[in-house]
Chains A and B, each alone.
Chain A
Amino acid sequence: MGFKILRKQELIPGQTSLLVIDAPQIAKKAKPGNFVILRNDEKGERVPLTIADKDPKEGTITIVFLVVGKSTAQLNTLQEGDEILDVCGPLGKATHIDKQGTVVCVGGGTGIAAMHHIAKGHWEAGNHVVAIIGARTEDLLLFRCELDGFCPEVLIATDDGSVGHKGFVTEVLKDRLESDRNVTEVVAVGPVPMMEAVAKTTKPFGVKTTVSLNSIMVDGIGMCGACRCSVGGETKFACVDGPEFDGQEVDFSELKARLWQFKEQEDESMGKFKKECSCHGK
């Protein structure tokens, strides 16, 4: 008895997909910042993915994932009506949200989806939410409409300048911080180098900066320490103490090193999957 995929949308074909999953109990409890751990099948590994949205009435959660290796590639072979064997959650500490003023939510790549839930939470709490989203090019910008739905401002940066500012989200962020002294918090979700750059950008402004760490995880319930990271010189477990931490305190280089731990094995696994996929598949 698995968890049924009710809707699938390939946001970027072959690369990024959105799944709406039937998981009433998780939908009931999910808060912005929470994630789930899922397992494709009996042989699958436990994969952490952020809850990008939820609908407690319908009993569904939404996840958006980028295909980077074997597990996410296999997940992307599933279609509407298929089932994911295990979905566990909601995990992690929920985003700390209170009414505080202007919150800038920065999202990069797939991280925009995860950031969406947090931004929505801040909006629901009555904050003025400025979204800054970035991608290589316009077609890769996720969740623009969704964010437009509630954010009074959605600022865009693309590498090729196909829409919005040509360049990085951090440049847009810097402009904003320089011109707007009312920003009380900056939240960043995306690739590690982006979050690191955001923290660097906000530092001179002294604005509270929250980043969401995507360390490698196994159990996701605090039992293994795989997800540990150094925050303010102390070891923290991203799955139970986080995944959100103060961006100024995080040791990003350690996080990057730890993310590459299993590179060789991941490549082997992906190679095997591709081979099997091409000889058994269509």
Chain B
Amino acid sequence: MASKPRKPSDIGPRIPMPEQPAAERVKNFSEVALGFSRDDAIAEAERCLQCKKPLCQKGCPVEIDIKEFILKVAEGDMPAAYEVIKETNSLPAVCGRVCPQESQCEGMCVLGKKNEPVAIGRLERYVADTFMASDACEEITGTHACALERDDLKVACIGGGPASLTVAGYLAAKGIKVTVFEALHEPGGVLIYGIPEFRLPKGIVARELDGLKGLGVDIVTNWVGGKTITIQDLQNEGYDAIFIGVGAGLPRFLNIPGDNLVGVFSANEYLTRVNLGRAYDFPNHDTPTFRADNVVVIGGGNVAMDAARTALRMGSKNVSIVYRRTQDEMPARLEELHHAIEEGVEIKALCGPLSFNAGDEGKLASMTVQKMCLGEPDESGRRSPVCIEGETEELPCDMAIIAVGTRPNPILLEATPDLELNRWGYIEADPETGETSMKNVFAGGDIVTGAATVISAMGAGRKAAQEIARRLL
């Protein structure tokens, strides 16, 4: 396929992704995008121009050799494709599903300038899914679990999200003993408690975690860094390096009247109840949430989309998303926004929250919003919303879900006064090595950058792991 150079205009449109129909899927929590077949994957891979200067790779925060893995897919050699991906990405089945590809790899794809970009994320997902079906470790090393070589070296990761898991995978593959300390009862971070089943099945995350355990990584739960164990304790116990990947955490509220009314949730609470607590299976599982007919979600990112689509699946009749700017400015992944609209989520753009209002029983009954329009662009080039004086609207709702971002979680930080923080309260870490103000203590992911993406957290984990390996080995 790749022998003759081809022009973008010669290439056909993207192979469509099979999906559950919108009317069906709002009734279940099964994955929306069903994944390519082998034929779909090969046909999509053949669309790749195999560029001399593949820009796609620059768009990927962990710089997967995208061109190479796609070539292997086109040749039908999935194990080889998997090996290429795994060289730099330890959670490909996850990234293929949740990366904002349009602003990363696919956003840079040369083909995208005159045509639709290659569906890199979907191909990555296909390779990871097919290949994980057979035992990855065995395929690569010939043994079921990779042998642990350096029992004398040990590294601790605090927090069990993508940043820490990347560190663990990288170092374990080099024979270093890694223990991941997770505060909740399940590891995975946002992948488990935040991103819903219909977008990222728990089984996928579990398989990636099993892969890590196969490499000899110990993952322990119910360990709160700063409470059950401190960084000082870990140092005393002889850990050679410590990585902090505790995520951003603490949800922001709106600071408007009625913020704490019954019926007002943070997206973190709502999603944690449904995902981690399996509230969709209440009362078989014990964690409840209540049914609400009219739901408003405040925010415009992935978290807002996830909350809105979750509410639909929990049986809510009318779900709308209230956002201060316009749909074009929404930071969510494009695919999620499209899926949300297809499923019937109403977008109330250019509305700013003014108050939550209580009804007779003192519970949430409506929300008042301020109508906005877009003003002049600010320094960042974004046009910021300005109020249209006197124009407000009252939206009836019995549940409101706030998804306007997070602040750094204080638990570990308060217990570790030696850690230097930046002016937003996140951990100050060297951008190249991830090292903090404490020697051999590293940090990465949302606790350094503020809420970002899975792949950027993994990118930070990878850099820190490389530095740790360099120092220890």
List residues of chain A with CB under 8 Å of any chain B CB: 25-26, 29, 39-40, 43-46, 70-71, 85-91, 218-219, 221-226, 228-230, 235, 237, 240, 254, 257-258, 260-262, 264-266, 268-269, 272
Among A88, A230, A265, A269, point to the contact of B222 (Cβ < 8 A).
Answer: A88
Would A223 and B250 count as touching, CB distance under 8 A?
yes
- Taking a contact as CB atoms under 8 Å apart, the answer to whether B290 and A265 are in contact is yes
Which chain B residues lie closer than 8 Å to A240 at the CB level? 250, 409-411
> Which chain B residues numbered 194 to 229 have a C-beta less than 8 Å away from chain A?
221-224, 227-229
Q: Which residues of A contact B288 (CB under 8 A)?
A: 45, 262, 265-266, 269
**Beta-carbon contact of A221 and B183 below 8 Å:** yes
Count of chain A to chain B residue pairs whose CB atoms are closer than 8 Å in the complex:
123
B457 shortest CB reach to chain A, Å: 16
Q: Give the contact-size bracket for chain B.
A: 35 or more
**Shortest Cβ distance from residue A281 to the other chain B in the assembled complex, whole angstroms:** 18
* Contacting pair A258 B272 (CB below 8 A): no
User: Is B268 positioned at the interface, with any CB of A under 8 Å from its CB?
Assistant: yes
On B, residues with C-beta under 8 Å from A are 183-185, 193, 221-224, 227-229, 249-251, 253, 255, 259-262, 265-266, 268-269, 272-273, 277-278, 282-290, 362-363, 409-411
Inter-chain pairs besides A25-B229, A223-B272, A265-B290, 7 sampled, C-beta below 8 Å: A45-B277, A86-B185, A86-B222, A219-B184, A235-B255, A257-B261, A260-B262
Instruction: Collect the chain B residues with CB atoms within 8 Å of residue A218's CB.
Output: 269, 272-273, 277, 287
If over half of A's interface residues share one DSSP class (helix, strand or loop), that class is named, otherwise mixed; here it is mixed
What are 7 residue pairs bridging A and B, where the CB atoms are less than 8 Å apart in the complex?
Answer: A25-B228, A45-B288, A223-B193, A235-B260, A240-B410, A240-B411, A254-B260
Contacts of A237 in B (CB 8 A): 250
B6 shortest CB reach to chain A, Å: 49
Which residues of A sit under 8 angstroms from B290, Cβ to Cβ? 261-262, 264-265
Name which residue of chain B comes closest to A262, CB basis.
B288
- CB contacts (< 8 Å) of B289 on chain A: these are 262, 265
A-B interface, 10 closest residue pairs, ranked by CB to CB distance from nearest? A265-B288, A224-B269, A45-B286, A88-B222, A225-B266, A45-B287, A86-B185, A43-B285, A262-B288, A269-B283
- CB of B277 within 8 A of CB of A29, answer no
**In the complex, which residue of chain B has the Cβ closest to the Cβ of A270?**
B283
User: Chain A: which residue is nearest B185 at the CB level?
Assistant: A86
Complex CA gap A221/B152 in Å reads 33
Closest chain-B Cβ to A146's Cβ sits at a distance in Å of: 25
Residues on A with beta carbons closer than 8 Å to the beta carbon of B283: 265, 268-269, 272
In whole angstroms, how far apart are the Cα atoms of A51 and B384 in the complex?
49
B162 → chain A closest CB, angstroms: 16
With a cutoff of 8 Å between Cβ atoms, the chain B residues found around residue A264 in the complex are: 290
Q: Which residues of B contact A258 (CB under 8 A)?
A: 260, 262
With A225-B268, A240-B410, A257-B362 already in contact, the answer to whether A46 and B250 are too (CB < 8 A) is no
Chain A residue numbers with a CB within 8 Å of B185 are: 39, 46, 85-86, 88
State whether A90 and B253 are in contact (beta carbons under 8 Å apart), knowing that A224-B268, A269-B288 are contacts in the complex: no
CA of A44 to CA of B288 in the docked complex: distance in angstroms?
11
Residues of A within 8 A of B410 (CB): 222, 240
B249 touches A91 (CB 8 A): no
CA distance A89 to B221 in the complex (A): 11
